[in-house]
Structure 1
Amino acid sequence: MSFLAPTRLLLLLVLLVLIGTYVVVQVRRGKYAVRFTNLALLERVAPLRPGWRRHLPAGVFLLMLGVFVTGFARPAADVRVPREQATIMLAVDVSTSMRADDVRPDRLSAAKRAARAFLDGVPERFNVGLVSFSGTATVAVAPTTDRRAMRAGLDRLSLGPRTAIGEGVIASVQAIADFGAQYGQAAPPGRVVLLSDGANTAGRSPQQAVERATAARVPVSTIAYGTSDGVIYQDGSPIAVPVDGPALERLAQATGGRFYEAATGSELRRVYHDIGSSVGYRVERREVWAWFVAAGLVLACATSAASLRWFARLP
């Protein structure tokens, strides 16, 4: 939390003076009471003394003043505000390694299922598109709010040889730029969510993709999907297809995105939920003085109630 008018906090010094004055007055009052030497008579004259309760209204009142002064200094805090619109491109690896069954029933089928769940949680006004990549990249669905079109695009995904991660990112960034051109300077923010299980083996390099994404100011969040024990069979021979997380992590970090690892279908769904939450909200610096005013009013009511209850008067 910060303050837009921090010099106003100097008024707290006045509050410290009030606290000191109150303490001094109470000490002097105690000394005066001791001068009444006939303690037995004092007990009969004032048998019920409020004790600590007589300090409570004053303490709450001073606390109330402190809260009001803090609010007067215009405190500001980071507040999550829902986005009205955004463009998200899902880039899905459809290389042959995605048929590994270390994730049941296989990596691609589980990825499709998690992507459908992601669509259910994305705000309706968000435009979502789909890019599939193996040796090349293809825009399967241009950014749209039509969730049925997206689900149909996911159903059509099919496997192919090699892995062109760089091409997948570049195609996604270009799709976001083409879609945003109709809005001009008011284009909604874009984000690429890339899911892959391997290293780049075809097309342009991930470094070229990073340059394109950073120039367009489009963060790329990457998901390394699968396990280190993944195996596919070709002509009856096993071929190991372990996940290559470091390359995907470097890609995410270089573009300002996030890197995730998911070894199961349920973990992938949690990752998509986290991505949806991060994209669906933006953080804004906003004044929160109203919170302090509300707290001060509550303390004022508490002070009045306590004083009326114990002393039959307002403080």
Structure 2
Amino acid sequence: MRFLWPEMLWTLLLVPILLAGYLWLLRRRMRVAAIAPDLSAIRLAQLGRRPFRRHIPPALCLAAITCGLIGSAGPSARVVLPADYMTLILAMDVSRSMLAEDVPPNRIKASQEAVKAFVEGLPKNVRVGLVTFAGTAQRAHGITDNRQDIYEAIDRFQLQRGTATGSGLLMALDMLLPDAGIKLESTVYGWETGGNPVSPDAQRDRASIAGAGGGGPSRADQASGPPGSYRSGAVVLLSDGRRTTGSDPVEAARLAARLGVRVHTVAFGTPEGFIPGFEGLSFYARVDEETLRQMAQVTQGEFFRASNATDLQGIYEHLATRIRLERQDTQIGALFAAAAMALTLLAIGLSLAWFRSMPVRA
């Protein structure tokens, strides 16, 4: 549980003070009873055979005060609520390493079938866009709610040399947030291996310029916030190899984090995977798990490891559930206020029913 105004929790010190005051009153009444035993006998007769009941209304009042003080601190908790994702961008690795046959029939075929099943299981209100990356990144299909168009685009994958993981993520971000000011001409199509594709300062300048030119704040300005704060869309990136060209994927993930976009990453393949080559030569295709894990952590997304088609299917099923339900920080101060009110009313009701007086006089 987190608190918006944690300094208000100091007011909880009033609770033991009030408890001490109540105990002092009880001891004072005991002294009075010792001086006037006749009055004490009358009081016990009024209470009947259950004298402990006189402590219940004050205890309820004390609990109500505690709930009210906690509620005044602005408590929040992570609860599971329906997610409001409306757009999902799939970034798929189509490098030649996807020909590896460690996942039968091969990685590309297995991933195509898993992704199509994933898209089919998404809620109908979620639109899907498709990006592929190898030596560079390209839009395989724009954002659409037509599932059949996405299936056909997946079936048209063409494998190429190279693995530009960072460029693929930048392309996905540009598709999700077209007003973010990402200059794909340099960062994706013309960026050399290594380097920072988009510095935070440059990105901030471009977002501001885009907002000024449009007569108002850009979508990037509206989306900017803490990592994972953008609730209208997310990116799911699958790769089976190490980045060999294009933008730095971790820097691209930092840009996604600054825009508040979650990036879920999937490392696909086994350490034994290899690519059939010419003249009987083969090349190992190892997955860069560390980079993919960093990309997910930076953006508050999830990292997954799939070594076979069954694992991949399970991962996409889990992600489909995440699209429907998501843990979110929710203010629960109203619950504490309601509990305080209910406890107060209960204390008053019991006191009137048992003693025909308010709790402070019980």
d(CA) in 1 for partners of 2:156, 2:317: 23
Cα deviation digits, residues 98-118 of structure 1 (max 9, x gap): 233433443223322332343
> How much is the aligned-residue C-alpha RMSD, in angstroms?
4.3
Residue 218 of structure 2 aligns with which residue?
185
Superposed counterparts of 1:90-101, under 5 Å: 90-101=90-101
What is aligned with 2:238? 195
The residue identity in structure 2 corresponding to 1:129 is: G
Indicate conservation of the 8 Å contact 1:166/1:206, yes or no: yes
Q: Which structure 1 segments of 5+ residues have no match?
A: none
User: Distance in 2 between the 1:144 and 1:239 partners?
Assistant: 37
Cα distance change, pair 279–206 in 1 and its aligned pair in 2 (3 A): farther
Deviation at 1:302, TM superposition (A): 3.7
Residue 313 and residue 104 in structure 1: after superposition, are their counterparts in 2 closer, same or farther (change >3 A)? farther
TM-score (norm 2): 0.66
1:247 aligns with 2:303: no
In the alignment, the residues of structure 2 paired with residue 75 and residue 130 of structure 1 have an alpha-carbon distance, to the nearest angstrom, of 41
Secondary structure in 1 aligned to 2:218? Answer: helix
Please give the TM-score of this superposition, normalised by the length of structure 1: 0.74
What is the percentage of aligned positions where both structures have the same residue? Answer: 31
Partner of 2:332: 288
Match of 1:225 among 268, 283, 291: 268
Shift of 1:274: 5.4
| Aligned residue among 291, 294, 306 for 1:262 | 306
Which residue of structure 1 aligns with residue 226 of structure 2? Answer: none
Structure 2: segments with no counterpart, 5+ residues:
182-213, 224-229
User: Residues 208 and 78 (structure 1 numbering): CA distance in 2 closer, same or farther, change over 3 Å?
Assistant: closer
What does 1:200-215 align with in structure 2 at a 5 Å threshold?
200-201=243-244, 203-206=245-248, 210=252, 213=255
Distance in 2 (alpha carbons) for counterparts of 1:232 and 1:177: 35
**1:243-297: CA deviations, max 9, x gaps?**
2212333455566655332223343345445555667788877653311121123
Letter in 1 for 2:68: F
Q: SS state of the match for residue 291, structure 1?
A: helix
Alignment of 1:36-47 (within 5 A): none
Structure 1 210/21 Cα, relative in aligned 2: closer, same or farther at 3 Å?
closer
Task: Report the 3-state secondary structure (helix = DSSP H, G, I; strand = E; otherwise coil) of the residue aligned with 1:260.
Answer: strand
Query: Residues 1-315 of structure 1: matches in 2 within 5 Å?
Result: 1-4=2-5, 6=7, 10=11, 12=12, 15-33=15-33, 49-71=49-71, 73=72, 75-77=74-76, 84=84, 86-120=86-120, 122-178=122-178, 185-186=218-219, 191-201=234-244, 203-206=245-248, 210=252, 213=255, 217=259, 220-234=263-277, 239-252=283-296, 258-272=302-316, 275=319, 287-304=331-348, 306-307=350-351, 315=359
- Could you list the per-position Cα deviations for residues 120-150 of structure 1 after superposition, in whole angstroms to 9, with x for gaps in the alignment? 4545444321122333433111122222222
Give the paired residue count. Answer: 309
Residue 33 of structure 1: how far off its partner (Å): 4.6
